[in-house]
Amino acid sequence: MRQKRLLVAWCAILSVGTISAATAQDTAKAALAPPAVVSPADKTAIQVFEKQVKDYVALRNKVRENAPKLSKDSTPEQIQAYRTALELSVRNARPNAKRGDVFRPEAADYIRRTLKNEFQGQDRKELRETVLETETQGVVLRVNYPYAQSAELSEMPATLLAKLPQLPKEVRYRFVGRNMLLVDRESNVIIDFMPDALP
Amino acid sequence: MRRLYIHKFLIALLISSALSCPAFAQQRATNNAHGAAPKLTLPLKDGSLRFAVMGDTGSGSAKQREVGDMMVQYHQAFPFEFVLMMGDNLYGGEAPQDFEKKFAEPYKALLDQKIKFYATLGNHDLALQTHYENFNMNGKEYYRFKKGNVAFYSLNSNYMDKKQVQWLEDELSRDTSEWKVCFFHHPPYSSAKKHGSDSQLRDVVEPIFVKYGVDVVLTGHDHVYERIKPQKGIYYFVSGAGGQLRTGDVKETSPLIEKSYDRDMHFMLFEVAGDQMYFQAISRTGETIDSGVIARRKK
């Protein structure tokens, strides 16, 4: 009888442990889940946005040929030469680039709604603080010009990144205050930006 | 004769005032520490893996250099093979002179001895640092390497996208190393007031760490030292005062704290010998601010 009770107790303990571990994994998976419902109009907006980004990357990778090759064991001088050359090449290849070229109205609207859903609620206060505590005073928002090297970079919340349209490796999202930027990862050039993106 | 006594008295008064001046006392402590033998608490076992840890270093300040000098002193007593950097490797710019002043010069003596530095990116670091020869990131924002029986995972906590999370999960799932150490910039647990625990990051990475048996997590970002009470069997450290410091930033009533220190800059030393991982945190002036041993979990 005693042994039976012990066996029942062990089964209960193991079950709780398994459920806890599964719950933790489920929590992480839920946190990284994409948005549940995307309307046909939003799907189109996302597709247009992704195409604009893809076009930028194709152009950028083409003009990257003009920059000196950068090895994985580079000196600071080589890094600077590469960054400067890439920045200039990208700027020259997009002489008429302006705000809204990539964040077109429909995509901007979808992203703003996604941000609103992600940042609203008292439990999201910390998320807002994580983004808004970044010291970005002095960052000039100008398409086709680099983000100030001396300025801090905002941490992009993992849960938010999972819900936004996915980007190729050459491009990154970044916040400056409540503004959302699209930035070239290597040259740090601002490709486009959305003012007042955060609620 | 009387005049001579007055002169002697005045000289003595001047000397004692100078000696009691806090700045002078601090300098003397530094000098004494630099002159005195390092006070090592690590066992120096044969065949052990030895490494150092430092975070938020890239200020280029005189105090950063003093931490570097103290690391050199301790290296003579405890020859560590490599150094892990917790991010914010360079503050305020990434021109060649920034790399020189904020990294290559302060750690020249270690670099000259071919000690490798393995960096991670902080929120003051641009992506192209991954190509810098002395950061050994191999062009990657997140990477893994192994030394002895320890696997090290450097992550980019600035941009924890799905791709990186998937990579981490895939790599950890097939990793049979006895020890698994992750290091990145933003602390999942921290008792500092300025930033504190990054709970949204923790929600994503902690379940993976727990599932795949990560033993130790090293972070920076908060410019203090903290050893967190083990969380779900994992030991977390905040080592973010290698070149920056926020005095008084630790919330001393935090239930997370096992040990904390925010009065001076510091670095850490680790020694892994079989199933034991020894650590020692050392201040800029050579004072031991924390030490202990972590037993490897049976997995």
Angle at A89 between CA A83 and CA A92, to 5 degrees: 140
Chain A residue nearest residue B208, CA to CA: A25
What pLDDT shows up at residue A124? 76
Q: Is residue B60 within 8 Å of residue B68, measured between CB atoms? A: no
> What pLDDT does residue A29 have?
59
For β-strands B235-239 and B82-85, DSSP reports them as unpaired
For every residue of chain A, which 3-state class applies, written as one string?
CHHHHHHHHHHHHHHHHHHHHHHHHHHHHHHCCCCCCCCHHHHHHHHHHHHHHHHHHHHHHHHHHHCCCCCCCECHHHHHHHHHHHHHHHHHHCCCCCCCCCCCHHHHHHHHHHHHHHHCCHHHHHHHHHHHCCCCCCCCCCCCCECCCCCCCCCECHHHHHHCCCCCCCEEEEEECCEEEEEECCCCEEEEEECCCCC
Residue B13: partners with Cβ closer than 8 Å, 6 or more residues away: none
Spell out the CATH class of B37-295: alpha beta
Residue B83 has pLDDT above 60, yes or no: yes
DSSP-derived 3-state class of residue B184: coil
User: Which of A79, A149, A158 is facing B160, going by the closest CB pair?
Assistant: A158
Return residues 157-186 of A near B (CB < 8 Å): 157-159, 161-162, 166, 169, 172, 185-186
The ipTM value here is: 0.86
pLDDT digits (tens, 9 = 90+) for A113-137: 999 988 877 667 778 888 888 888 8
| Residue B243 to residue B88: CA distance in whole angstroms | 9
Q: What is the pLDDT of residue B37?
A: 77
For an interface test with A, the pick among B91, B126, B156 (most A C-beta atoms closer than 10 Å) comes out as: B126
Pair B225, B239: CB distance under 8 Å: yes
* Mean pLDDT (whole number) for B152-162: 97
Which H or E run contains B33? Answer: helix B22-35
pLDDT of residue B12: 55
Tell me if B94 sits within 8 A of B128, measured CB to CB.
yes
pLDDT above 90 covers a percentage of chain B that reads 86
| Domain limits, chain A | 40-194
- pTM value is 0.88
Q: Region A80-107: what's the mean pLDDT? A: 96
Interface probe for A, chosen from B91, B125, B133, B212 (most Cβ of A below 10 Å), is B133
What is the per-residue pLDDT for B11?
Answer: 61
